[in-house]
Amino acid sequence: MDFSLTEEHIMIRDAARDFAQTELLPGVIQRDNAQTFPDELVRKMGDLGFMGIMVDPKYGGSGMDTISYVLIMEELSKIDASASVMVSVNNSLVCYGLEAYGTEEQKQKYLTKLATGEQIGAFCLSEPEAGSDATSQKTTAIDKGDHYVINGTKNWITNGGRSDVYLVIAQTDREKGHKGINAFIVEKGMPGFDVGPKEDKLGIRGSDTHTLQFNDVKVPKENRIGEDGFGFKFAMKTLSGGRIGIASQALGIASGAYELALKYSKERKAFGTEICNHQAIAFKLADMYTEIEAARMLVMKAAWDKDQGNNYDMASAMAKLYASKVAMEQTVEAVQIHGGNGFVKEYHVERLMRDAKITQIYEGTSEIQKIVISRGVIKG
């Protein structure tokens, strides 16, 4: 067992940290208020290789491992979770799904642009009545011979308004249940494809979240991913890797809040000394540090399993379940340590607390993670 990072990993982490501090931190509060994220920052993340971290260089990617991905995600998430969720979705769900299961033609046409950040992707699974119950797809894709016709609605889609490429999960044969589901590549601008209003969210407010409408959208047969009926398996396999991304986002939110709380506790004085010298605060910091380190071990283990080619379904579920819990709990503690200052935007921790909640919900709620873990435990 080796818990040390390689020199390459340290360089990657430091590059991500420098970008987060110099590029993301200025204006992060204003972006949260305005619910915007500039295209210029997306391009810069693409230039640094953050939009195709694990993609093979022959498709324009950075060719890094999953450990590198986790390190980048943590550093970005410490400062701006709206930025990191864009990176997570584009990497874990869109690029991974295309590279692992797409045809060579699909990779050349779509992956090469997504991996460089020239284009951005979205993953479209959730619906008004199909969130955690992903088998209850109401969106349909009717086979018309040389093309499919898609009708339906997708909800809460990250990168929904700014994406160029959408991976859409739809039901082709309802009688077959989950074996009648397919995955399709839909391009922005296809007739009948409309993007609804932007969601007004509690957290990750700079992230682009929309409802999507599909009204008789014609999608060429060659845009189906995998064999007929592969869509549900495609979604589940892709989400397992996505959970590592969200787990690392949760880890970053928690560690970012902890770093701010520690710094503040060494500056703020009460009863004649810095508040870190009071046991009530010192013990909070001890608990925060311990919980975050435990989460980090789970996240790194899941990333290591993926890099080793091991089954990482349970590992990613445990990492997401625990890291998201830690993010929620420790951002609340960070606000508490800041006292009244923690309740105002200037000190950043209230935003991190708002951002933390979504990590317990998207890409599989905490309850769904427990189902995945319990099934793995019982199966042995």
Copy the structure tokens of residue 48: 């640094």
Q: What pLDDT band is residue 265 in, cutting at 50, 70 and 90?
A: very high
> In this structure, what are the phi and psi dihedrals at residue 55, rounded to the nearest 5 degrees?
-80, 140
CA dihedral 238, 241, 247, 252 (to 10 degrees): -110
For range 247-262, the mean pLDDT: 98
Q: Compute the radius of gyration of the chain from its Cα atoms.
A: 21
DSSP 213-280: EEEEEEEEGGGEESSTT-HHHHHHHHHHHHHHHHHHHHHHHHHHHHHHHHHHHHH-EETTEEGGGSHH
pLDDT at 108: 98
From residue 98, alpha-carbon distances to 7, 115, 122 in Å are 30, 10, 12
Question: In this predicted model, what pLDDT tens digit does every residue of 25-64 receive, in sequence order?
Answer: 999 999 999 999 999 999 999 999 999 999 999 999 999 9
Copy the structure tokens of residue 350: 């209230």
Question: In this predicted model, what pLDDT tens digit does every residue of 167-184 receive, in sequence order?
Answer: 999 999 999 999 999 999
Angle between helices 313-338 and 349-357 (to 10 degrees): 150
pLDDT at 130: 87
For range 104-130, the mean pLDDT: 97
Q: Which residues pair with 213 in a beta bridge?
A: 153, 194
Average pLDDT, the chain: 97
Q: What pLDDT band is residue 380 in, cutting at 50, 70 and 90?
A: confident
pLDDT at 133: 86
Question: Residue 97 in contact with residue 167, Cβ under 8 Å?
Answer: yes
Q: What pLDDT band is residue 325 in, cutting at 50, 70 and 90?
A: very high
Q: Is the pLDDT of residue 1 over 90?
A: no
Q: How many CB atoms lie within 10 A of CB 304?
A: 16
The three-class DSSP label of residue 374 is helix
> In this structure, what are the phi and psi dihedrals at residue 161, rounded to the nearest 5 degrees?
-90, -25
DSSP classification of residue 51: G
Q: Which domains occur in the chain, in start order?
A: 7-120 (1.10.540.10), 122-231 (2.40.110.10), 236-379 (1.20.140.10)
Catalytic residue of the set 199, 291, 350, 363: 363
Interatomic CA distance for residues 368 and 372, integer angstroms: 6
Q: What pLDDT band is residue 292 in, cutting at 50, 70 and 90?
A: very high
Q: Is the pLDDT of residue 252 over 90?
A: yes
Active site residue 127: no
Question: Which H or E run includes 84?
Answer: helix 81-88
For range 129-154, the mean pLDDT: 93
pLDDT at 135: 86
pLDDT at 131: 84
Question: Residue 80 in contact with residue 20, Cβ under 8 Å?
Answer: yes
Q: Is the pLDDT of residue 129 over 90?
A: no
Q: Is the pLDDT of residue 78 over 90?
A: yes
Copy the structure tokens of residue 268: 């703020």
For range 261-275, the mean pLDDT: 98
For range 129-140, the mean pLDDT: 89
Q: Is the pLDDT of residue 132 over 90?
A: no
Q: Is the pTM value of this prediction over 0.85?
A: yes
pLDDT at 274: 98
Q: Is the pLDDT of residue 338 over 90?
A: yes
The residue that leads in pLDDT, 380 or 35, is 35
CA torsion through residues 110, 41, 64, 168, sign: negative
